[in-house]
Amino acid sequence: MAYRRFLLLFVLLLAMTAQPACRQAEPKPTPTPTPIPTPSLTGAEAVAREYLRAWQDQDYTRMYTFLSPSAMAAIPAEKFVSRYQAIADEATMTSLTASILGVQRALTATAQVTFTITVDTRFVGQFQVENVLDLSYDGQRWGVDWTPKAIFPLLVWDNLVHMFVQVPSRGSIYDRWDLPLATEGKLITLGVVPAWIQDEAKLLSILSRVLGLSQEAIKEKYAYAARPDWFMPVGDITPEAQQAYEALLSSEPGITWREKPIRVYPYGSLAAQVIGYTTLIDAETLARLKDQGYSENDRIGVAGLEGWGESHLAGARGGTLAIISPDGRIVWTLAERPAAVSKSIYTTLDIEFQRTVESILGQQVGAIVVLDVRNGDVLAMVSHPGYDPNVFITGTSQQRQALLNDPQRPFLNRAIAGLYPPGSTFKIVTMSAGMQELGLTQHSTFYCAGQWTGLADGATRYCWLRSGHGTLNLLNGLVQSCDTVFWEIGKALNEHDPYALPRWARAFGLGAPTGLNALYEEAGLIADPDWKAQHYSGAEQQWLPRDAVNMAIGQGDVLVTPLQMANLVAAVANGGTLYRPRLVRRVGSLMGDDIQDFPPQVLSQLPVSPANLQVVQQAMEGVCRYGTASRAFIGATIRMAGKSGTAEAPPGEPHAWFVGYAPADNPQIAVAVVLEHGGEGGRNAAPLFRQVVEAYLALPKR
């Protein structure tokens, strides 16, 4: 028994130690992986800092280089750049600064950088946003895990950044009695809702009758509506027309209408060049004003007071910069600026007097300016031909183009931008200079034989009265407008000082803008030796005695505007005070808390002694009583004073001038009349002057 147990144990031991003939190699143990070091947050912060610096520099292409591979796969570089650029443009962004607030690890290979951006915009000012930038480490570098939220927290892929612009109603323009010359009104836009149409033939017939358009043109307006239930505008009519046709329009399904605000000029063409007009903004102006909230469908003042006062009349647009959802709902407001109320312009014009003066000028090409001699107020400013500014609101493109192509230039305000030689009206200046510079008196005598050779330059100059005036004194020299008298004075002034007569002309307000407190005006021209040396060449550069004698009678290198001449005689009338002409008396909103007043302003005093100025006044009254224009004043019950002028303007007829003031014994208004190629001033312009004076003095006093 013991033997058997021993034998069994031996066999077992032998089996355990025996080697098999063939066996597989034992598997090697799995090596322990080498741990990857945790990426440093310093690297994440460095990438975020460079990313934000590129944003500050508006270098969106460089920003893209810091994105992680997965972010780059989600948005191509061009779309990334265009999105940032579009947001900057929409926000009118001028600058952006970014500051890192902190860095923290999210997981082992991810990080979050908290930062703030401060954005300066032209339109809604400055705003600040705090945000988080997600970054990940791909084993080689940190990258920004970009989504639109990296711009603004609530900006997801489908949301947009949009500027909502608030446009205040345009201010009005008023005359001196607060009658509206330009104001806000309304038009009625007729339209069609295609889904509502029941009888298209009848609908087209009605709209064609009301709008004056062909049925084909009307149908084309709504034929391609994106949705049949949309309102499709067809044409505009006045509220009066809408009322007249309301029953007819309401009777046909498919026709409907909406109101829209428009600019209205209640007096039509009256004072059109002064008031100006509005038109759709052009591309060049839009590029300049876009940051102020203007858009391509806005109207803007481009002439007259509408143009001059655009910043007042338009107010300041307000806006809300917001993140919006695809359906237009505001998700988050980034910044806001309220709209500033527009202001109105209150002028010195008397619109009913303006109407009368325009009727006096009639269809003659020219201008008339009427000033209050006591303060420089512009009471009437007439220029013909003119235009109706309503054409730019409700007129056709053909009507507008006809005005723009009119060779008579209806948009030219001849009162302030028409340049004319003044002719004999300039003799007022020459007479004043002769008395003050040369010591002449009203009794100084001259002899006119009808022709003059006083320069010994081989030229014979002929007085307008070929038979000659004989012997006459200085006072009667102006009354009779004797050319010989003023040639002699011009020659003597030039010998005394070649700069004397040009200097006196400028002292009377010629050769420079009057300073009218609104609108652009031409400066005119008063030449002198320096000017001639700069503008001529060769022998013509030299200032010669003939230049002075030509200037003495208002010819040669002398150009003036009617406003300058009206201001000149206003100063003579009031005793020598040269005012700055005033067209705008105040600007302000209806609230009345931000009124900007423009009080009368004295520019200078005429350098003429009271005694000498009285001689000029006496001579100007003599012109109307028994001088060159006396026929125009036969039977007048009002004492008037003035000076006629017939200014050579080859190849056509001379320009006809008359400038003066009234009443002569108590001056209230100064008037300048010029008729382009209108012939003789005393015959053709003086009667208009008289009519203007009589119309003004007949006005009801308020």
Residue 592, pLDDT > 90, answer no
* Helix, coil or strand: residue 403: helix
Q: What whole-number distance in Å separates Cα of residue 525 and Cα of residue 578?
A: 19
Residue 93, pLDDT > 50, answer yes
Sorted by sequence, the CB contacts under 8 Å of residue 355 that are 6+ apart come out as 267, 270
Query: For the whole model, what pTM was predicted?
Result: 0.81
Q: Taken in order 643, 646, 648, 650, is the CA torsion positive or negative?
A: positive
DSSP structure class, residue 364: S
Mean pLDDT of 503-516: 97
Q: Which residues are catalytic?
A: 424
Neighbouring-strand partners of residue 470: 448
Contact between residue 641 and residue 620 where contact means Cβ atoms under 8 Å apart: yes
Query: Of 651, 654, 632, which Cα lies nearest the Cα of 643?
Result: 632
Q: What whole-number distance in Å separates Cα of residue 630 and Cα of residue 611?
A: 25
Residue 546, pLDDT > 50, answer yes
Mean pLDDT of 364-368: 98
The count of residues in the chain is 702
pLDDT for 291: 81
pLDDT in tens, 687-696: 999 999 999 9
Q: Which of 5-14, 284-293, 565-574 has the highest mean pLDDT?
A: 565-574
Contact between residue 487 and residue 454 where contact means Cβ atoms under 8 Å apart: yes
Mean pLDDT of 404-429: 96
pLDDT range class, residue 540, cuts 50, 70, 90: confident
DSSP structure class, residue 377: B
Q: How many helices (H) and strands (E) does the chain have?
A: 25, 29
Residue 555, pLDDT > 90, answer yes
| Ranges 13-27, 208-222, 437-451: which has the least confidence | 13-27
pLDDT in tens, 298-350: 899 999 999 999 999 998 888 999 999 988 899 999 999 998 889 999 999 99
Mean pLDDT for the chain? 92
Amino acid letter, 261: P
Domains of the chain: 41-157 (3.10.450.100), 173-337 (3.30.70.2110), 348-417+560-702 (3.40.710.10), 423-509+525-559 (3.40.710.10)
Q: What percent of the chain has pLDDT over 70?
A: 94
pLDDT for 104: 93
pLDDT range class, residue 464, cuts 50, 70, 90: very high
Q: What angle do CA 583, 585, 588 make, to 5 degrees?
A: 125
Q: What whole-number distance in Å separates Cα of residue 178 and Cα of residue 394?
A: 25
Contact between residue 584 and residue 345 where contact means Cβ atoms under 8 Å apart: yes
* Helix, coil or strand: residue 523: coil
Sorted by sequence, the CB contacts under 8 Å of residue 342 that are 6+ apart come out as 168, 169, 170, 171, 312, 313, 314, 315, 589
pLDDT for 22: 38
Amino acid letter, 22: C
- Please provide residue 92's backbone torsions phi and psi, each rounded to the nearest 5 degrees: 50, 45
Q: What share of the chain is helix, strand, coil (3-state, %, to 5)?
A: 35, 25, 40
The DSSP string of 628-650 is TTGGGGTT-SS--EEEEEEE--T
Q: What percent of the chain has pLDDT over 90?
A: 79
pLDDT for 18: 42
pLDDT for 8: 40
Contact between residue 258 and residue 188 where contact means Cβ atoms under 8 Å apart: yes
Contact between residue 219 and residue 194 where contact means Cβ atoms under 8 Å apart: no
Q: What whole-number distance in Å separates Cα of residue 681 and Cα of residue 305?
A: 31
DSSP structure class, residue 381: E
